[in-house]
Chain A
Amino acid sequence: MQHPVQQESASIGKSIVIKGEVSGSEDLVIEGNVEGKIELRDHILSIGSSGRVQAHITAKAIVVHGEVTGNLTAADKVEIRENGAVEGDIVAPRVAIADGARFRGSIDMRRDEPSIVSERPSKSRKSESLTPISANGEPVSV
């Protein structure tokens, strides 16, 4: 019987200082100091309570327990947990800010798609109503 492989997160320890670009294809926990740019497009970035980050971050999800200065972009969500602090602009479809968290900046949760999607059905409904349909559901030319 095969056991499922448990994927562990990579971590940057408390005493580590990184200046530059961090990217990868696995989840990452930062407890140290990172300055520059972080890119984990399909993975989760957690900034631990001792983590201090000064960077532009792009990830699937970002969870902040420590301090971040910089812009955060997430495909799924950004969470700022209690005692977490963010100064910068957030772009994500979901943003959760816990009581006690600090945030200063702007939050953009708008998606571009909905406005387009909301217009299209009404147009298609209109065209359907003008197109005669045969008994088998196929459009009929007149």
Chain B
Amino acid sequence: MLSRPMAEVLDLGPAIGPNITFLGERIGCKIHVKDLYADLERHADVDALASLRDYGAESIDAVLCWDIFDYLPPPSASVLAATLIQALRPAGVLLAFFGGGAATTESTYTRYVIEDEGHLRYRVAPATCPRQRPLQNREILALFPDMSLADSVLLKSGLRELLFRKPE
């Protein structure tokens, strides 16, 4: 996907210098930064997610969701997923992480930093919202109907890294 000429990436996390350098300078993508974590209380409101519809239908090649779905109540998560699917071009991909284990009241966000093609570093930042109950696999798949699961990795920590692809 990233080798596609003029690829456009939507990053739902904060602007992180190394990520911008990697995606912009090394890969040559156009990057749209829409930090949903910055205003999570507002984005937990379904109507507030409407701002994402600014990205036209089938205008984005890849979406980096990071673990934003872990922080959204189910109705908002559904609206966000549907909006992102609509924004993706055919064959476009969506990367999302889902935490495992028991629900927690700890309020931290994880900042994911792209080091290179094969390595991701993370660091913890203070949060304004706690994580929601971890989603079951079937609940995750229900969020992305008609998308095919291109890759999935289960980490020792229980974190699930899922890559969805929109059919051509």
Contacts and interface: CB of A to CB of B under 8 A. Distances in A.
B74 interface: no
Given A107-B30, A109-B24, A115-B5, A97 B16 contact: yes
Contact of A106 (B6, B17, B21, B32): B32
Interface residues of A, number: 20
A115 B5 CA distance: 9
Given A94-B25, A95-B24, A106 B15 contact: no
Contact of A103 (B5, B15, B24): B15
Interface residues of B, number: 19
Contacts, number: 54
Given A95-B24, A104-B15, A104-B38, 18 more contacts: A94-B25, A95-B20, A95-B21, A96-B17, A96-B21, A101-B17, A102-B14, A102-B35, A103-B14, A103-B33, A103-B35, A104-B33, A105-B33, A107-B24, A107-B30, A108-B24, A108-B31, A110-B6
Interface of B: 5-6, 14-17, 20-21, 24-25, 28-35, 38
30 contacts: A80-B15, A94-B25, A95-B20, A96-B17, A96-B21, A97-B16, A97-B17, A98-B17, A99-B17, A101-B17, A102-B14, A102-B35, A103-B14, A103-B33, A104-B34, A104-B38, A105-B33, A106-B30, A106-B33, A107-B24, A107-B33, A108-B24, A108-B30, A108-B31, A109-B20, A109-B24, A109-B25, A110-B6, A110-B28, A110-B29
